[in-house]
Structure 1
Amino acid sequence: DTDCCTLEDRHSIGSQAAELMSSVKGEVLTSVHSRSRSSIDRKDRHCPPKPADGVLWQINTLDQFHKSFRGLIDQYHFPKAACGAFSVANSILLRDILQKKAKELSGELAVTKKEIEAIVDKLQDTKTVTKEVTKVMAQIHQDRLKYTRDHSASFPQPSDVEKYLRDWVANYEISDYLIKEMKGQTEDLGGIHFVRYNQYPERNGATFEEKARLVEEERFGGKTFGDKARVELEEGAARFIIEPFVPERKLLRPEEWLAWRKKTSKQKTGVSPFQIFVLDLNGHFCTSFSCFVKPENGAGKATPHLVMINTTNASYITSSGAPCAAFDIAFSSS
C-alpha cells in the first residue's frame, strides 16, 4: 500500500483549496502570475540539459467555482471542481482562435502582450465559454451514465451511481473527448496536446474504468506505488506522457514527442509555437499555449512564452512539473 493520499482525497483537497480562493465579486478573474523558466528547477529525467529561457505566464480567466456555473454543474451531475470541463473547453476555443491568428501573421509566429490579452478577453466571455463547457459536461455525463448501466452490478444503489457521476474527471475522459473533437483535423498550428502525468504508479488506488484504462500507461514505467508526481521512478520510467491528437492520437514520452514533431510538423524550425497543451497539474487541470512574445514597438527579440489559461485564483506555475514539461518540449532545440 502507498502512504500517499488517494486520488479522490487529493482531488478533494485541491478542490477545497481552490474554492476558498474563488472570486466573490464575479465570474471574471483578473489575477496574473509569471515566472522565468530559468528560475524553476525541474527534477524529472526528461528535463533538457539547457532549457530555453523564457516565461511561464498564467492568466486566470473565469472562476469555475462561481455561482453562475452551479446550475450547469448540477444539471449534469458534474464534480464541483469542474476544471476538467473548463480546460478542455478552453483548449478547443484556443484552437480556433490560434488557427485564425496564425493565418493573419506572416513569418515568425510572434504576438505582443496586447494581442495575448485580446485572446484572453475571448476566454473571459462567459456565454462563449459556457457553451463549450456544456458540450464537455454533457458528453462526460452521457459516457458515465452508460458505464453505470453497462456495469449495473457495480452500482446497486442510486447513491452509487450518483457518486460515480460526481467523481473527479479522469485523464482518460479528457483524452476520449479530445480524440472525438480532433478527428479529421489536419492543421499543424493550433494543435491540441495533453501533457499528463504517468499514472501507472497510482493503479492500486484507481477504480472502475480508470483502473482498466491505466493498462495503456504500463509501458511508461512506475513499478512502485505512490503519488504520480513524487514517487521515485525506476531507471527508464517517464514522469510525463505527451498525448497528441493530430494527425492521430498517440501516447508518447517527451523525447518521442520531439522526434514525432520533427517528422510530422509543417513548421521548419525546431520549436513549436502556437501549440495547445492541456495540463494535468496533479489535482487540477488547465490549458496553455506556446508562443513567442515580441515587444509592442517591434524592437528587440521575441521571447518564448507558455501562456497558461486557468480557471481559479491560485497559481500553478511551480506547484506541478507539467507547465515546465510543456514549455520545454515546445521550445526544445534538440
Structure 2
Amino acid sequence: MEKILEVKNLHVSFDTFAGEVEAVRGVNIDLTKGETLAIVGESGSGKSVTSKSIMRLIPNPPGRIKEGEILFEGKDLAQYSEREMQRIRGSEISMIFQDPMTSLNPTMTIGKQIMEGLRIHQKMSKSQATARAIELLKLVGIPNAESRLKQYPHQFSGGMRQRVVIAIALACNPKILIADEPTTALDVTIQAQILDLMRDLQDKTGTAIILITHDLGVVANAAQRVAVMYGGQIVETGTVDEIFYKPQHPYTWGLLASMPKVGDSGTELIAIPGSPPDLSDPPKGCPFAARCPHAMQVCIDHMPDATEVSGSHQAACWLLDERAPKVEKPEAATIGGAR
C-alpha cells in the first residue's frame, strides 16, 4: 500500500520555567491510504503532541520541533511556513479534537462553521457551500439538516456536536483525518455510534485516520494497526491482532492487563505501579525501565533499538535480544473477549 504520511525521528520540546521538556523523542510512524492507525498510551505519553505536530499546531514558543521530518505525500511539513500550513489544514489534513464544545464557536451557527472551510479552501459560492453543508450534516446522521444548519452549538447534544465537528473535518475531503480522543467526553452508546460513523465515512471517502486514544476497547473495534507510545517514544507497533494477542513489550502487557475483561466482573484490575518518567530529565535507557518488573541494567543504561518481530510488528525492548533471559508474557496480558 502507498504511504501517505511518514514521520521520521520526530523530536518535540517545550521550553518551560523548569527547563526543557522533551515531550516527543525520536518518534517514527507511517500511514497508508485508507487505513486507521491508533496511537495508544497513558496520559502524558506524547500522543497528542505528536498529532498536533503533524498539523503544525504546536505553539512556538514554548513548543518547537527540534528535529525530524513529517513527510506528507513526500513533502516535509516540518519545513513549511505558517501560510503554507494554512493551505494544508482542513483541506488536506483535518483534525477532530477531544471536546466538541471547545472546537465550535458558540456565537456562530453550525451552518456558518461548516461553510467557512468550504468558502476558503474550495472557493465555493454561498449557495454551493450551503448545499454542501446540508449534504455533510445528512452524511453524519443529523436529521432535519436544513433547519439545524441555522442553529447554534448549545442547541445540539454532546453526540450531535461531535458529529458536527466530524462534518467540519470532512468538509473538504481531506486525505488524512486525525481524531484526538474523539469519544472521551461521550457516553458508551454514543461512543459506539461515533466510531461506527467514522468507519462508515472512511469506507465512503477512503480517508486515512490517525486515532489518538487511551481506550484499548476503542482500538480493538476501530483500527487496523497500533502504535504504543510511552515516555515520548514509540515502544511497539503492529497490527491490532499482533498487539492484542502477541504483545512483546512489558508496557503493552501492562496496558492489556489493566483493561477490564468480558466476564470478569468483580475481579480486581491490575495497575502498572509507579509513574511515567519526568521528561524534563528523561531517562538514558528504556523509558519504562523504572516501572518494569523485568528491567535489567542494560535497560536503565541504554535505549534499545526496535526489534522486528514480524514484517508488520516491531518492539523496542531488551528482552527481545537473544542474550536476554526468557520471560513469559503474564496471563492477564491478553485482550480476551474484547473483539
TM-score (norm 2): 0.28
**Largest Rg, 1 or 2:** 2
TM-score (norm 1): 0.28
